Amino acid sequence: MNTPSRLFFGCLGALSSSAAFACASCGCSINSDWGAQGLSDTSGWTVDLRYDYLNQNQLRSGRKTISASDAAATTIQPSGNPAEVEQYTRNRYVTATLDYSEGSNWGVSLSLPFIHRSHSTLGSGSDGSTFDPANGAYTSSGSGLGDVRVVGRWFGFSDRHDFGIQLGLKLPTGKKDQIGDDGVTAVDPGLQRGTGTTDLIVGAYYFGEIGSDWGYFTQGTYQSALNHSLMRAGSYKPGDSFNLSVGARYRGWASFVPAVQLNARHAKTDSGDAADTFATGGTLLYLTLGGMLPMTEKFAPYVNVQLPVYQNVNGIQLAPKYVASVGVKYAF
């Protein structure tokens, strides 16, 4: 495999990183696993630095968008309590991923996300427009390290090295006790920078070439928390999730490598005393368009835009209209 291919198929760990941290609860269940563009079997190190922007500003229920007034009129069954009316959750991530591939059998990656997140909600019992702290309305904003991921892979099944399995952990390194801007209200568990749980990550992938100019890959990843986290309001455990991505790229141009992907995600409802069991989890499908610009044999910037194709969320959740990502890769 030549060096531009290595850059394209580099940094496995980024496939399971940044935007997933924002989507455990109280807002979205989207999959942002498109940044790495594939997998590497070439020996050596690769560094990936990526910036993601995810603005959740669209209220959705099931497969449709709804207004804030409709959300305010919704009651949660069987309790009959009014639903929460969220306004927005703006997420900005800078994720650094260091990947090493031994070249013959195994590789490992380490992903460190830095997260800045701002959020506003009108709370429960709102009329859909009035910001009233008595109904639980609050805003929050904060920055810091998220949950670190370490993922290993084994691809020594054949000389082609085109099939591999993954095994890793998401570690509870992110802050989980953030307070809102009022200095009193505890930020919802799914909006914290960390879940407080150690998660098992298991996956598999396959990639190949079609002729001299086309390449493709597919990857499935399952993630499950191994423990409950103790939040201010009680125990919390993010729902298990399954991500499936398929993609293709074209290498017929020397200066630009375009790519297209389909990213599917299914997440179960969060659990625990502090969890939102009404408005978490769902099934989503996204189309990702982007590409890489190999400026040298070792250095290449890339850009991706992810667009929703199908969204079916539990309860009422905030969802983005698009997700934007830019980054750079360096192989050495």
Give tens-digit pLDDT for 135-160.
889 999 999 999 999 999 999 998 88
The more confident residue out of 320 and 39 is 320
Name the amino acid, one letter, at 295.
Answer: M
Strand partners, 309: none
**C-alpha closest to that of 44 among 101, 97, 5:** 101
CA atoms of 196 and 188, how far apart (whole Å): 13
Mean pLDDT of all residues in 257-280 = 94
**What confidence score (pLDDT) does residue 50 get?**
93
SS3 content of the chain, % helix, strand, coil (to 5): 10, 55, 35
In the chain, % of residues over pLDDT 70: 88
* pLDDT at 41 exceeding the cut of 90: no
Residue 258 is part of a domain; what is its CATH number?
2.40.160.40
CA atoms of 320 and 54, how far apart (whole Å): 7
**What confidence score (pLDDT) does residue 168 get?**
97
Question: Phi and psi dihedrals of 69, rounded to 5?
Answer: -65, -35
Query: In which residue are the tokens 């990857």 written?
Result: 219
Instruction: Please give the structure tokens belonging to residue 132.
Output: 């009233």
Mean pLDDT of all residues in 29-40 = 39
Mean pLDDT of all residues in 276-301 = 92
Q: Are 63 and 315 in contact (CB under 8 A)?
A: no
CA atoms of 309 and 322, how far apart (whole Å): 10
Instruction: Please give the structure tokens belonging to residue 242.
Output: 């399954």
pLDDT band at 39 (very low <50, low <70, confident <90, very high): very low
If one counts the domains in the chain, the total is 1
**What confidence score (pLDDT) does residue 232 get?**
86
- Domain coverage including residue 132: 3-331
Summarize pLDDT for 77-133 with one digit per residue, the tens: 888 899 999 999 999 999 999 999 988 899 999 999 999 999 999 999 899 999 999
Torsion angle in degrees (nearest 10) through CA of 54, 264, 299, 205: 150
CA atoms of 151 and 158, how far apart (whole Å): 21
Instruction: Please give the structure tokens belonging to residue 238.
Output: 């993010």
Q: Are 48 and 99 in contact (CB under 8 A)?
A: yes
CA distances from 31 to 107, 113, 150 (A): 23, 16, 18
**Cα dihedral sign for 154, 157, 160, 163?**
negative
Angle, alpha carbons 272-190-234 (nearest 5°)? 35
Q: How many residues does the chain have?
A: 332
CA atoms of 265 and 229, how far apart (whole Å): 23
Q: Are 236 and 9 in contact (CB under 8 A)?
A: no
Mean pLDDT of all residues in 46-59 = 94
In the chain, % of residues over pLDDT 90: 73
**C-alpha closest to that of 291 among 320, 248, 246, 332:** 248
